[in-house]
A = this chain, B = another copy of it.
Amino acid sequence: MDVGSKYDQRGVSSSKSDVHDAIKHLDKGLFPNAFCKILPDYLGGDETYCNIMHADTAGTKPSLAYVYWKETGDSSVWAGVIQDAIVMNVDDMACVGAVDNIVLSSTIGRNKTLIPGAVVKDLIDGTQDFIAKMKNLGVTLHLSGGETADVGDIVRTLDVGFTAFARIKKSDVIDIDIQDGDVIVALASYGQSTYETEYNGGMGSNGLTSARHDVFGKYLAEKYPESYNPEIDADLVYAGGKALTDIDSETGLTYGKLVLSPTRTFMPVLNRIIGSMKEEIHGLIHTTGGAQTKVMNFVHGMHIIKDNMFDVPPLFRIIKEESGTDWREMYQVFNMGHRLEVYLKPDAAQDVLDIAKEFKIDAKIIGRCEVAEEKKLTISTDTGTYTY
């Protein structure tokens, strides 16, 4: 299931097979098939509760934010990467049913010779602004603090990560138990929801190493050698045709801003869905590493059929065109239009669609699940049929 050699040669793996090998002997927690590891209630000692601790980063998106900020002076990119790092945590946690009362801590590593204190301030302020915004949408996040380390000998520009902690009732945990006949309701990663102030390209925080190098032009390599790994083949570095500040006519955004679109959170929507129909849900999948194949980590003896996908949104069409990546691989690296999947019986699907609509997030039934001898994923689109 590994993707093509270009991805590997850039020092990234969507399957992370060597990491999975390294951790395969670790305890899988109380609900081994849940989307996040579920721990006993170490902190409360209550048999009916559990703990969830989750860590993730903005990946290589801060490198793009850095070059965009250098080129344009636009410091709004820093609030964007904060949102990326927070949402990569909380949207994962929502997939196990933790949709409120989450404590967050940040770990920021910077090269102080390139990232001044004003950027640190933008990052801290961005954290507080995002938390305030979520509060208004009914989702309470608490900032505990964090660490900002000056580690220029380790970090080329800026690394932004968060760790999140929640404690919920075991009875509120959403385990993944996808069933024969389930449909897949997908929530779009792109567009403009009621809680976004502009069009979101749908990027999320996965596939950025590819997207950055496939879309943007060689001038960035010469101008910003600090923004990439010199160990990778020069032909694979900034090998695209776009400039950061060129305007994409379809969306009206610069290509830089399009790829930098902050990772949309589905927390407000999932808070509503889980609050009103938790018992109907057989699985929530945040299509991060592995993208459209992510669900395969959580099924056995099931054929997942995705044959009514969203039309590929502009951002991913551009990446496809610039990179020449085949479609099969595109679905392994990029979300391609939806970043959240709800698995449930067909008669419960309309309620999800109705809630998503209230937030102006496109949603539709994109596929179904059938019992099979071996697990299998089929994605069928008007460009072809891809199996995994």
Number of interface residues of A (CB under 8 A): 76
Known: A42-B142, A51-B144, A124-B23. A63 touches B154 (CB 8 A): yes
Partner of A167, one of B10, B44, B53, B229: B44
Report yes or no: B11 in contact with A111, Cβ–Cβ below 8 A. Answer: yes
- Per-position binary interface string of chain A over residues 253-276, scored 1 when its CB falls under 8 Å from any chain B CB and 0 otherwise: 000000000000000000000000
Give bound CA distance, A157 to B153, whole Å. Answer: 9
Most buried by B among A60, A145, A159: A145
Taking a contact as CB atoms under 8 Å apart, the answer to whether A59 and B149 are in contact is: yes
Chain B residue contacts of A44, Cβ below 8 A: 43-44, 167
Q: A57 near B121 (CB under 8 angstroms)? A: no
Quick one: CB contact mask for A116-155 with B, threshold 8 Å, 1 for yes?
1100110110001000000000000011111111111111
A153 touches B54 (CB 8 A): no
Please determine whether B120 and A18 come into contact, CB atoms closer than 8 angstroms: yes
Stretch at the interface among A100-108, A346-354, A357-365: A100-108
Residue of B nearest to A14 (CB): B150
**CB < 8 Å: which of B18, B54, B59, B107 contacts A151?**
B59
For the complex, is A214 an interface residue (Cβ under 8 Å from B)?
A: no
A11 touches B103 (CB 8 A): no
Q: How far is the CA of A372 from the CA of B148 in the complex (A)?
A: 33
A293: CB under 8 A from chain B? no
A19-B107 contact in complex given A11-B113, A167-B44, C-beta closer than 8 Å: no
| Residues on the B chain within 8 Å of A106, using CB | 55
Could you say which of B10, B17, B63, B113 contacts A232, with CB atoms under 8 Å apart?
B113
- A143 vs B29: C-alpha distance in the bound complex, in angstroms? 11
Contact residues, A153-188 vs B (CB, 8 A): 153-159, 161, 163, 165-167
Within 8 A of B (CB), among A332-358: none
Binary B-proximity of A90-107 (CB < 8 A = 1, otherwise 0) = 000000000001010111
Interface residue from B63, B149, B232 paired with A57 (Cβ < 8 Å): B149
CA distance A149 to B58 in the complex (A): 10
A80 on interface, CB distance cutoff 8 Å: no
Query: Is the pair B57, A151 in contact by a Cβ cutoff of 8 Å?
Result: yes
Q: Which residues of B contact A218 (CB under 8 A)?
A: none
Contact A105 B142 (CB under 8 A): no
Expressed in whole angstroms, the Cα–Cα distance for A245 and B14 within the complex equals 38
A147 to B288, CA, bound (A): 13
Interface string of A223-246 (1 = CB under 8 A from B): 000111101100000000000000
A-B contact pairs, 15 of them (CB 8 A): A11-B113, A18-B116, A22-B120, A22-B124, A23-B145, A26-B143, A26-B145, A37-B144, A42-B103, A57-B109, A57-B151, A60-B151, A147-B161, A150-B209, A154-B158
The 8 tightest CB contacts between A and B, nearest first, are A18-B117, A152-B229, A163-B163, A53-B144, A11-B152, A22-B121, A43-B167, A113-B231
